[in-house]
């Protein structure tokens, strides 16, 4: 019996040490010596892209989120379909909606040029570009721990199964985030990313026509004008009234039953997340602080570090 306990303890100790080794390979100054111009270059390209199209900030943020929820933050979402790569780009949550790949390509090209060689991973580029996008839209900043490596695989099946859907209710959302090591506060804070960007008609049609008791009737009518019962699946509606400004109006909308997606309104529907939604709706500083904290947490999900994975030469292809 004692020896079995010892084996269990040893296994736990080894797993703990491996986790710490992976995390210790990250640092906020990872590129300071090998390419000090890497981060300024990422910021410059992101600021230019967002200035040309404000929506791009939300698109880059969504790419990072959808990347991290599928086997970790390893840039697998950037890989194109090949005979051996089952691209996540064609998964239901991403197909005809994930965007910003050209911006990542441009960042990669510029960074590799100033560094003289490919030393910055696509996974790190996506993480930093997301932070810089939020800042460009007047949101909070945070330290991005660097040293991620890029995956050599992708999984459309995992993307279909693990990326939360706009039809999920609160228990399903809590379970989905818990699977990634994220708690209810992370769920609410990260859902606040919907203070930026747009959603397609197909993702909220059922809500605006059929959820009579949990939606403001005027809000529903306004959305119906651009989202018919049939057709117009790709027509866009903003996720909150100020779709290119990081603020707390997304949460104010939820309190007023004006959440665009079912999964948005689920956060304020008589459940355990109601109070946090109320807090965020009136306190931008608290929301911003918690959002930054949760972004750091999400950005460290199941990372490849050290000699794992690779540094891709082209973010769309395995070397």
CA-wise closest residue to 267 among 173, 193, 164 = 173
Residues 312, 290: Cα–Cα separation, whole Å:
32
233 labeled binding residue: no
CA distances from 61 to 24, 41, 86, 169 (A): 25, 18, 22, 23
86 labeled binding residue: no
195 labeled binding residue: yes
Q: Which of 11, 64, 66, 262 is catalytic?
A: 66
φ/ψ of residue 84, rounded to 5 = -115, -5
Strands 236-238 and 198-200: antiparallel
88 labeled binding residue: yes
48 labeled binding residue: no
Q: Which long-range contacts (C-beta less than 8 Å, at least 24 apart) are formed by 108-116?
A: 108/314, 108/315, 110/41, 110/44, 110/45, 111/35, 111/38, 111/41, 111/42, 112/313, 114/35, 114/37, 114/38, 114/41, 115/34, 115/35, 115/37, 115/38, 116/35
Residues 31, 38: Cα–Cα separation, whole Å:
7
74 labeled binding residue: yes
72 labeled binding residue: yes
Helix, strand, or coil (residue 139): coil
Q: Is 138 labeled as catalytic in the residue annotation? A: no
164 labeled binding residue: yes
Any idea which residues carry the catalytic annotation? 66
Binding site as annotated, residues for heme b:
194
Binding site as annotated, residues:
67, 70, 72, 74, 76, 88, 164, 194-195, 240, 247
Binding site as annotated, residues for substrate:
164
Binding site as annotated, residues for Ca(2+):
67, 70, 72, 74, 76, 88, 195, 240, 247
């Amino acid at each position: 019996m004692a020896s079995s306990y010892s084996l269990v303890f040893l296994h736990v100790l080894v797993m703990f040490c491996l986790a710490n080794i992976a995390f210790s390979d990250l640092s906020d100054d990872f590129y300071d010596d090998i390419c000090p111009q890497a981060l300024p270059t990422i910021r410059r390209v992101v600021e230019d892209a967002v200035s040309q199209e404000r929506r791009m900030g939300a698109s880059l943020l969504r790419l990072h989120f959808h990347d991290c929820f599928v086997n970790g933050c390893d840039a697998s979402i950037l890989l194109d379909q090949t005979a051996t790569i089952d691209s996540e780009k064609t998964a239901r949550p991403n197909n005809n909606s994930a965007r910003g790949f050209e911006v990542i390509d441009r960042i990669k090209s510029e960074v590799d040029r100033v560094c003289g060689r490919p030393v910055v991973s696509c996974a790190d580029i996506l993480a930093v570009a997301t932070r810089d996008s939020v800042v460009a839209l007047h949101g909070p900043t945070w330290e991005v721990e660097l040293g991620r490596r890029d995956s050599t695989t992708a999984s459309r099946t995992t993307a279909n199964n693990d990326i939360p859907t706009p039809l999920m209710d609160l228990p399903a959302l809590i379970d989905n985030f818990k699977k990634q090591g994220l708690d209810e506060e992370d769920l609410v804070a990260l859902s606040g990313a919907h203070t930026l960007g747009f959603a397609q008609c197909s993702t909220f049609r059922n809500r605006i026509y059929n959820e009579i008791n949990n939606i403001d009737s005027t809000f529903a009518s306004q959305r119906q004008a651009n989202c018919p019962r049939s057709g117009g699946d790709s027509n866009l509606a903003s996720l909150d009234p100020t779709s290119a400004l990081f603020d707390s109006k997304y949460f104010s909308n939820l309190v007023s039953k004006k959440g665009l997606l079912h999964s948005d309104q689920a956060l304020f529907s008589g459940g355990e997340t109601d109070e946090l939604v109320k807090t965020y709706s009136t306190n931008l500083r608290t929301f911003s602080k918690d959002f930054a904290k949760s972004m750091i947490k999400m950005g460290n999900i199941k990372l490849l570090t050290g000699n794992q994975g690779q540094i891709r030469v082209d973010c769309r292809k395995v070397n």
